[in-house]
Amino acid sequence: MTVLAALIAFTLAAGLLTITPGLDTALVLRTAAVEGPRRAAAAALGIGLGCLTWGLAVAVGLGLLLAASQTAYLMLKWAGAAYLIHLGGRMLLRPRHAFALAGSGDRKAVTALGWAGRGLLTNLLNPKVGVFYVSFLPQFVPAPVAAGPFIALLALIHVVLGLIWAGGLIAATRPLARALRRPAVVAALDRVTGGVFVAFGLKLALAPR
């Protein structure tokens, strides 16, 4: 795989991942609907900073590990493939039919900086983000490219996609919130994303180094 092909493939896959409803989407939508666009934008920035922090941590650790050990590479490869297939299979077989947009119940006034902190902590305290990055990002690293810097670039692309999507969520809060309350929409997004995850898991398992 060339560098350009890897970047295009990752952007497409990460874009699909970004628009699939999850904790980050819920936080941005809820904040935009209840607190207003400025605070929602701050929350989105905090989430992006959290993703970038996870991405850089994974890039540094994986870059050193993969360069040093073939055994570590194989263990990571099979663990990542198993995780992606498990995650995708669960989404295919048991898709959600509801997506909660409810608030946390905390009605105290929070500044934009406070919402940025909430977005950051929501992301940093979710170890699934780190696990997913470890499983997902390495398979998009072309063979002749240094793993660490390229993984950091992929994480940055994911953050940029997330901020673009968050901007769209904020601009269209009400219609998107209505769509995400439709069971068919939520189930369809889960099934499509689950299929992609299974495909990438199989690709990771079968690919040579």
- What is the per-residue pLDDT across 63-84, written as a single tens digit (0 to 9) for each? 666 556 667 667 767 776 787 7
Q: What is the mean pLDDT of residues 175-196?
A: 77
Most confident region among 8-22, 71-85, 184-198 by mean pLDDT: 8-22
**How far is the C-alpha of 4 from the C-alpha of 22, rounded, in Å?**
29
pLDDT at 105: 46
pTM of the model: 0.69
How many domains is the chain partitioned into structurally? 1
pLDDT in the model for residue 179 = 74
Residue % of the chain over a pLDDT of 90:
18
pLDDT of residue 76: 65
Please list the alpha-helical segments (H only) found in 94-182: 112-124, 127-136, 147-171, 173-179
pLDDT tens track for 113-150: 888 888 888 777 666 677 778 878 888 888 788 888 99
The pairs formed by 114-117 with CB atoms below 8 angstroms and a separation of 24 or more are 115/31, 115/35, 115/39, 115/40, 115/42, 115/43, 115/46, 116/42, 116/43, 116/45, 116/46, 116/49, 117/46
By CB atoms closer than 10 A (0-12, 13-18, 19+), residue 54 is buried
- Give the range among 44-58, 71-85, 100-114 with minimum mean pLDDT: 100-114
Q: Which domain holds residue 87?
A: 3-206
